Chains A and B, each alone.
Chain A
Amino acid sequence: MHLHRDHGFIHPVSSEITPQSLYEGRREWLQRLALIAAGTSLGAFAARDARAAATPTLAPLAGVRSSVSGALTMEKTTAREDATSYNNFYEFGSDKSNPAARAHAMKTRPWTVTVEGEVHKPRRLDLDTLMKLGAIEERIYRLRCVEGWSMVIPWLGFSLSKLIKAVEPTGNAKFVQFETLADPEQMPGLRSRVLDWPYVEALRMDEAMHPLSMLVFGMYGELLPPQNGAPVRLAVPWKYGFKSAKSIVGIRFVEQQPTTSWERAAPQEYGFYSNVNPNVDHPRWSQASERRIGEDGLFAKKRATLMFNGYEQQVGQLYTGMDLKKYY
């Protein structure tokens, strides 16, 4: 291309002339670009708002800060919108977004928990009676999922031991078994054969009696949302999250160690104890690190997993002498 220099100034050539239609529409183009940029950034806000709004605020639940050793971690609490939109509750589907999308209509009142088995006082407890068995406390627990992510949740409830003492287990009661609601009318995930329903979990008696084992009725200052296991669930913070059964309808005291749902589904992957242990790999991946949801940024290195999820001081003595690789 021959450029004509005129005292250093390079004259533009005709091929460089902006087409008239484009020139006249320049303001429109700028507006369009601005709208796209604004829309994208607004989309970010809208998405967070949508997630928060999707879980409407529930009735408040007051709790006194717990004085149980280890019950209040100093770590930053996970954002409520993350804790209520990223859930494993396979009764509603196996996608993390399924429970929040599908559980909103779940009927949580009236609700009965049947306590039976090796107890002197088997009972059918309605929710209100159950909630009055102890003073509601607020506890901030770490929650570590077997998949390798974790959260910090401010639960509301009291020690499971309060309920256990009230029903007076017999000498034969060695294990406590928990059963989740399995209502095919409300729970579309029951059609899938991912697990044998109803969902069953269990604890050894001394684990169930430990002060940190918690019967939970609320979180973030309110009653539990359905996707988080309303109206009553467990929180056993030193074990992988699937041990903390949700939406409990039955508690049975038994002599033989029960087979839990995930044990039955994949016994070489999920053990009865499932204590958080960075030294015991899952057969298909390492458990040495975890991603803390909402923290750490997209490109940050994952954080190290702590023995017993950081509750070694409180629960370590339950497992002295036990081979944790064998009893995973």
Chain B
Amino acid sequence: MRRSLRSAAVGSIGRPLAKAIAKPIAKPIAKPIVFLLALLPLASLVLGAAAGTLGANPAEALIRGLGDWTLRMLCATLAITPLRQWLGWPELARFRRMLGLYTFFYGLLHFLAYAWLDMSLDLHDIVRDIGKRPFILVGSAALLLMLPLAASSFGAAMRALGAARWQRLHRSVYAISLLALLHFYWMRAGKNDFAEVGVYAAIIGLLLGWRLVRRLRRIRRSAHERNNRVHAATPRPRSTEPSA
């Protein structure tokens, strides 16, 4: 029932609109364009630092800005699979790896900015900070967990792992998302300032929740099918009505 309602809505407005936008997304040039667009936030921050337009505390602006964009890239990466289904744009799949790698890239820069601008690359101080500040501990954990994902993003690694193992490994992005949210929440907890945290939690909650619902539906469906197979195997009195 729900599916038919959705199809009706999609059919009248959504499908033609989706087709119109899907065309440019499918073009080969879309990938380099998205690549450059995703670099813009970094360029803006670096140019801002060079030009002195980041405000009175440019170090803080850089560290926070890079952190913000790590979260945004993460949301974009997680949104690919649901959007593919909702909008009927299978072409979106081509961008998932790039956005995932950009998440790692911005996360790494965020950590490097903290290590260099806040801690002057003093390894002893950094390690002590990670132990002392729980929010930095979970942030570091999230970054570390992203390493194997980034390393296995390429053809050779994917073939070596095989599809099933690669899928399982990359599901750790869910844990990474929760750690990233916790990192942001704990950072803001010192100021009771949760407005932005709430927005990201809602978005990530929606994107992860969609997967949870899909998983539950699959489990229910496969349980259903198993049930039907059992009933089919059991002999039943033949009826004159055609099967459904």
Contact = CB atoms under 8 A, between A and B. Distances in A.
B34 to A, nearest CB: 23
Interface of A: 40-41, 43-44, 47-48, 81-82, 85-86, 94, 96-97, 149, 192-195, 265-266, 269, 281-282, 284-286, 291, 293-294, 298-302
Contacts of A284: 132-135, 186, 190
Given A44-B51, A285-B133, A265 B117 contact: no
Given A265-B192, A299-B117, A291 B53 contact: no
Main SS at interface, chain B: helix
Contacts of B134: 284
A151 B100 CA distance: 40
B85 interface: no
A291 B52 contact: no
Interface residues on B, range: 20 to 34
B192 A193 contact: yes
B156 interface: no
Contacts of B51: 40-41, 43-44, 47
Contact of B55 (A86, A281, A291, A302): A86
Given A285-B132, A299-B117, A96 B193 contact: no
B132 A286 contact: yes
Interface string B36-47: 000000000001
B65 interface: no
19 contacts: A40-B50, A40-B51, A43-B53, A44-B52, A86-B55, A94-B195, A192-B193, A192-B195, A193-B192, A266-B189, A266-B192, A269-B190, A282-B190, A284-B134, A284-B186, A285-B132, A291-B60, A294-B56, A302-B120
A81 B50 CA distance: 18
B58 A298 contact: yes
Question: 6 nearest interchain CB pairs?
Answer: A86-B56, A82-B56, A44-B51, A47-B53, A301-B120, A194-B192
Contacts of B62: 298
Contacts of B192: 193-195, 265-266
Nearest to B51: A44
Nearest to B192: A194
A142 to B, nearest CB: 16
A48 B56 CA distance: 10
Contacts of B135: 284
